[in-house]
Amino acid sequence: MKTSNIDITNLSVTFDTKYGKVQGVDDVSITFPKDVVTGIIGETGSGKSLLGMSILRLLSNEAIVTGQCFYNGQDHMKLSKAQIKKIRGSQIGFIPQNPDLSLNPILTIQRQLIESLLTHTNISKQEAKEKVRSYLKQFGFKDIDKIMKSYPFQLSGGMNQRILCIIGIICNPDFVIADEPTKGLDAKLRKIVYENLIKVKKNYTSSMIIITHDLYFAGKFCDEIVVMYKGQVVEMGYSKDVINNPRHPYTKGLIGSTIRKGMVPINPPDSKENTSKCKFYTRCNQRNTKCIDSTIEMKRIPGGKVRCCAYD
């Protein structure tokens, strides 16, 4: 099964807790196409980051992961730790959230960038140093020597965000995954992130997975959007269709509750156990008896797919 897409089949992620098993991702099957920017959106706890992190096996040891994730003919779930480590950065780049938590505070910028190259490529240390200088220049840094000798705490938040982008692409990966790149950032830093990702898309790779809560950015930047709720994909399609004509009741509430659209209330989660087949049943203002007993599968609609009884 050799493919340049990322093909996920029946992927589930569960955690054993003192309260019992918690299902983070629930039997997801999806393809992330090459040369397409796909945004994954949803509330906190929807499973979007877990899904993205599963692709690179970056979840904690407490996570119980089942299913398949094929890329370039290899099932990532069956690879050894050494094998998956070689894929990270070289084949699939990763841009984490929050530079303060992601960059090593006791290593210089030069060392962090060079180590990434030496780990994933066969170039010499001098070649790696020259490549680092080139990428820093491409991302708008001026005093390159000073930047390379600096530690993260000596740079601004915007500068460190650019460093994270460089780390994610410096080994020329075919795919890039960005996990909540704007989470917790102010408007100024969000703008910098947008500009950096646009630069990545334009100059380096257009095969990207953007995990985000920023619906406005997802609609503008991504070619396709995947909507997740309680570990399931509930809607997916072209960005313009999902944003401008959402089909699933959850997506409608999510899109409607953005500031740019005005507040459209979505019912809060029900504390009672949901025994229906639809995970959104207790919050849905369009529910009916079919939602209780029917198995809710993804259904094709013009421009995408949706998981909802209303489209039977």
For 56, other C-beta atoms within 10 Å of its C-beta total: 22
> Any idea of the CA torsion for 238, 243, 249, 250, to the nearest 10 degrees?
100
Alpha-carbon span 48 to 231, nearest angstrom: 8
The predicted pLDDT at position 173 comes to 92
**Cα 115 to chain center, whole Å?**
24
Helix axes 157-169, 187-203, angle to 10 degrees: 20
Give this prediction's pTM. 0.89
**Distance (Å, rounded) from C-alpha 12 to C-alpha 27?**
5
Instruction: Assign 122 to helix, strand or coil.
Output: coil
Rounded Cα gap, residues 98 and 17, in angstroms:
27
Q: Which amino acid is at 170?
A: I
Strands 63-71 and 6-17, how do they pair?
antiparallel
Task: Determine the Cα–Cα distance for residues 164 and 250; give it in Å rounded to an integer.
Answer: 33
- Structure token pair of residue 32: 């992330």
> Digits of tens for pLDDT over the chain (312 positions)?
455 899 999 999 999 888 888 899 999 999 999 999 999 999 888 999 999 999 999 998 899 999 999 999 899 999 999 999 889 888 999 998 778 888 999 999 999 999 989 988 899 999 999 999 999 998 889 999 999 999 999 999 889 988 998 999 999 999 999 998 887 777 887 888 888 889 889 988 889 999 998 888 899 999 999 999 999 999 999 999 999 999 999 999 888 876 454 434 455 554 444 555 788 888 888 888 888 876 788 999 998 999 998 887
Residue type at 171 in one-letter notation: C
Q: Which helix (H) or strand (E) holds 192?
A: helix 187-203
Amino acid identity at 44: T
Distance CA 78, CA 103 (A): 29
